[in-house]
Amino acid sequence: MKLRLLSLLGLPAALLAKGTPGPVEAKLAALEAAAKAAQSAGDNGWMLVSSALVLMMTGPGLALFYGGLVRKKNVLGTMMQSFILMALITVLWAVAGYSLTFGEGSVFLGDLRYLFLEGVGGAPNADYAATIPQQTFMIYQLMFAIITPALICGAFAERMKFSAMLLFMALWALIVYFPMAHMVWGKGGLLNAFLGGKLPCFDFAGGTVVHVTSGVSALVCALHLGRRRGFPSDAMKPHSMVLSFIGACLLWVGWFGFNAGSALAASSLATSAFVATHFGAASAAIGWLVIEWLRTGKPSVLGGISGAVAGLVAITPASGFVKPFPALIIGFSAGIVCYLMCAVVKNKFGYDDSLDAFGVHGAGGSLGALLTGVFATNAVNDALKDSAGKPVALGLVDGNPGQVLNQAIGVVIAWVLAAVGTLIILKICDAVLGLRVEAENETEGLDLSQHGEEGYILEA
Amino acid sequence: MKKIEAIIQPFKLDEVKEALKGIGIDGMTITEVRGHGRQKGHKEVYRGQEYNVDLLPKVKLELVVPGGRLNDVIKTLTAAARTGKIGDGKVFIYDVADAIRIRNDDRGEAAL
């Protein structure tokens, strides 16, 4: 084993055979250090790639996906909403966001030990990821904090002031995201199943933290801002399905970094999450297309890509806990449920969740979190051990039906925190800046009214 | 002189152009337009939201011909533009008072 490892590391076998004079312990220590360094290099490589993949989901992925779905007078404004969060949240994260999320504070929020990223460097933080620099962990988690608020932009598309959106997002990160992420992933967080949470909830890559919070907040935004002018009588067709198609496919690819990267190592668990992610997306695309084809007579491209995204959302909390076949089931049900949310429920209630952030992320995230409680198995993830060192039963399929209830509690907490937090933030932003653009600016479009530019100048 | 204004299916444009060229009509002006007559539009569905698109893309073709050639041109044009299905379009004919070639001030039929 050690010999093989050494040759893997590229160390000359002769070194071991002849050896340098000295105690055996010194040699063993050197070997151990070399093995650790090799593992760290592999894990760190994968995690840096994953970090980049998750950033790619926001820009260009989500920016294209959402940008194509709006009318052409709002394409830049919509893309800018995703893009500016790449900058805004990064600064917040560096100042206090990382600390408030991953500092070991109360059960609800982290403390300020990592303020200005103090002490976050090349050494690993063994509580979270023992084989990679804490700085890698920090930058990886930042990418989640960026895409989560960006998802909300789908709900208030084509009508929110840029200034109000900036204030909203900064407050939302502070009041909703950092606390929720701390509760689920932070050491000592209320829902953290692996680091001493009182209500163990399984959320591998952010079903509750990312999708339920953003989706529910999106619904509150849609209700509070009101419908776009002319909705639903005017045609508000996507101006470029081609952009949306490219965006959705980039999301699919980036999601491998999101879910498989959440293993925080280049491990077999990462492979398992990668496979589950892919299977979930594929079967959800089919699920959405099947029900759409049956109901409207045509399988649409937007249906296919929306289904894939819905499946990716639903598999997110489950990805590191379920086998491939349950991943297909989770995906397929997400395709059906999210289709019904967007095409039936939304029309019934008449709210203008313009790009279906709630219908896809809120509904898909909640469904995925609950199904994680059903299909989670220690055959995939054996990180949780009992006192005798045996892996504990995880979900219903392992004989632990109570986990479904735990998952439901986690979902409810995410719903309440997101709904209440978002409502308060909207009231503040409305009082300070006003949420919506003026009627004439809405007609003119966000591109010109907010940014003084046009997306397409074809005669130029 | 008569002005012929024909609204035709966009995919028939090349056939019509070739047919008119075949009977010696060289000048025409083309515009991409949208509209509908008796032809109802089509339905588009985006995530369950239905949109009825009733203004469909058409091509408007304008040409002015000497009065004596009118019937000849109309026959050729309609034959080339016809599919026999609803949505083939319409032809309108107007009297033209005069025509001027800007380059050299030719007037009337000499300017065509």
Beta carbons of B46 and A342 less than 8 Å apart: no
Cα separations (Å) of A153 from A23, A371, B51, B66? 63, 27, 24, 61
- Answer with the residue of higher pLDDT: A459 or A223: A223
Q: Does residue B91 form part of some domain?
A: yes
Nearest CB to B45: which of A296, A344, A359? A296
Mean pLDDT rounded to a whole number for chain A: 94
Q: Which residue bears the tokens 């709002």? A: A74
Selected residues 59-88 of chain A with any CB under 8 Å from a CB in chain B: none
Beta carbons of A347 and B47 less than 8 Å apart: no
Instruction: Classify A109 as helix, strand or coil.
Output: coil
Quick: pLDDT tens for A243-285: 999 999 999 999 999 999 999 999 999 999 999 999 999 999 9
Q: Does the pLDDT value for residue A2 go beyond 50?
A: no
Q: Does residue B103 form part of some domain?
A: yes
Q: Does residue A26 form part of some domain?
A: no
Residue of chain A whose alpha carbon sits nearest to that of B49: A343
Whole-number pLDDT of residue A16 = 52
Q: Does the pLDDT value for residue A19 go beyond 60?
A: no
Quick: pLDDT tens for A269-328: 999 999 999 999 999 999 999 999 999 999 999 999 999 999 999 999 999 999 999 999
CA distance linking residue A61 with residue A50, whole number of Å: 15
pTM listed for this prediction: 0.86
Stretch A186-211: mean pLDDT, rounded?
A: 92
Provide the CATH number for the domain around residue A380.
1.10.3430.10
Do residues A202 and A403 lie in contact, with contact meaning Cβ atoms separated by under 8 Å? yes
Beta carbons of B47 and A302 less than 8 Å apart: yes
Stretch A216-238: mean pLDDT, rounded?
A: 93
**DSSP-assigned letters across all residues of A38-82:** HHHHHHHHHHHHHHHHHHHIIIIIIHHHHHHHS-GGGHHHHHHHH
Instruction: Classify A183 as helix, strand or coil.
Output: helix
Instruction: Establish if B103 touches chain A: CB-CB under 8 angstroms.
Output: no
Q: Domain limits at A393?
A: 50-451
Whole-number pLDDT of residue B41 = 77
Quick: pLDDT tens for A165-176: 999 999 999 999
Whole-number pLDDT of residue A1 = 42
Q: Does residue B64 form part of some domain?
A: no
Q: Does the pLDDT value for residue A415 go beyond 70?
A: yes
Stretch A405-428: mean pLDDT, rounded?
A: 97
Stretch A121-138: mean pLDDT, rounded?
A: 96
Give the total number of structural domains in chain A: 1
Q: Does residue A152 form part of some domain?
A: yes
Whole-number pLDDT of residue A157 = 96
Gap from A343 CA to chain B (nearest CA, Å): 4
Stretch A413-417: mean pLDDT, rounded?
A: 96
Chain B residue numbers touching A237 (CB-CB < 8 A): 44, 46, 51
Stretch A427-443: mean pLDDT, rounded?
A: 97
Whole-number pLDDT of residue B22 = 95
Beta carbons of B49 and A347 less than 8 Å apart: yes
Q: Does residue B42 form part of some domain?
A: no
Q: Does the pLDDT value for residue A18 go beyond 60?
A: no
Chain A residue numbers touching B51 (CB-CB < 8 A): 235, 237
User: What ipTM, to 2 d.p.?
Assistant: 0.76
Instruction: Establish if B54 touches chain A: CB-CB under 8 angstroms.
Output: no
pLDDT-derived band at B87 (thresholds 50, 70, 90) equals confident
Beta carbons of A356 and B47 less than 8 Å apart: yes
Q: Does residue B6 form part of some domain?
A: yes
Q: Does residue A335 form part of some domain?
A: yes
Q: Does the pLDDT value for residue A7 go beyond 80?
A: no
Q: Does the pLDDT value for residue A9 go beyond 60?
A: no
Q: Does residue B24 form part of some domain?
A: yes
Q: In terms of C-beta density within 10 A (0-12 exposed, 13-18 middle, 19 or more buried), how is residue A135 classed?
A: middle
CA distance linking residue B105 with residue B112, whole number of Å: 12
Instruction: Establish if B42 touches chain A: CB-CB under 8 angstroms.
Output: no
Q: Domain limits at B91?
A: 2-33+53-58+69-111
Nearest CB to B47: which of A235, A298, A343? A343
Q: Does the pLDDT value for residue A207 go beyond 80?
A: yes
CA distance linking residue B5 with residue A179, whole number of Å: 68
Least confident of A32-46, A225-239, A305-319, A415-429: A225-239
Give the total number of structural domains in chain B: 1
Provide the CATH number for the domain around residue B7.
3.30.70.120
Do residues A149 and A165 lie in contact, with contact meaning Cβ atoms separated by under 8 Å? no
- Eight-class DSSP state of A395: S
Instruction: Establish if B34 touches chain A: CB-CB under 8 angstroms.
Output: no
Selected residues 224-263 of chain A with any CB under 8 Å from a CB in chain B: 232, 235-238
Q: Does the pLDDT value for residue A44 go beyond 50?
A: yes
Do residues A393 and A375 lie in contact, with contact meaning Cβ atoms separated by under 8 Å? no
Nearest CB to A298: which of B45, B49, B53? B45
Q: What percent of chain A has a predicted confidence (pLDDT) above 70?
A: 95
Gap from B4 CA to chain A (nearest CA, Å): 30
Q: How many CB atoms lie within 10 A of CB A250?
A: 21
Whole-number pLDDT of residue B35 = 87
Q: Does the pLDDT value for residue A153 go beyond 70?
A: yes
Stretch A378-397: mean pLDDT, rounded?
A: 93
Quick: pLDDT tens for B17-75: 999 999 999 889 999 999 887 767 788 889 988 888 888 889 999 999 999 999 999 99
Stretch A2-23: mean pLDDT, rounded?
A: 54
Q: Does residue A238 form part of some domain?
A: yes
Q: Does residue B102 form part of some domain?
A: yes
Stretch A100-114: mean pLDDT, rounded?
A: 96
Structural tokens at position A368 = 């995925």
Beta carbons of A306 and B47 less than 8 Å apart: yes
Nearest of B86, B69, B84, B93 to residue B20 by alpha carbon:
B69
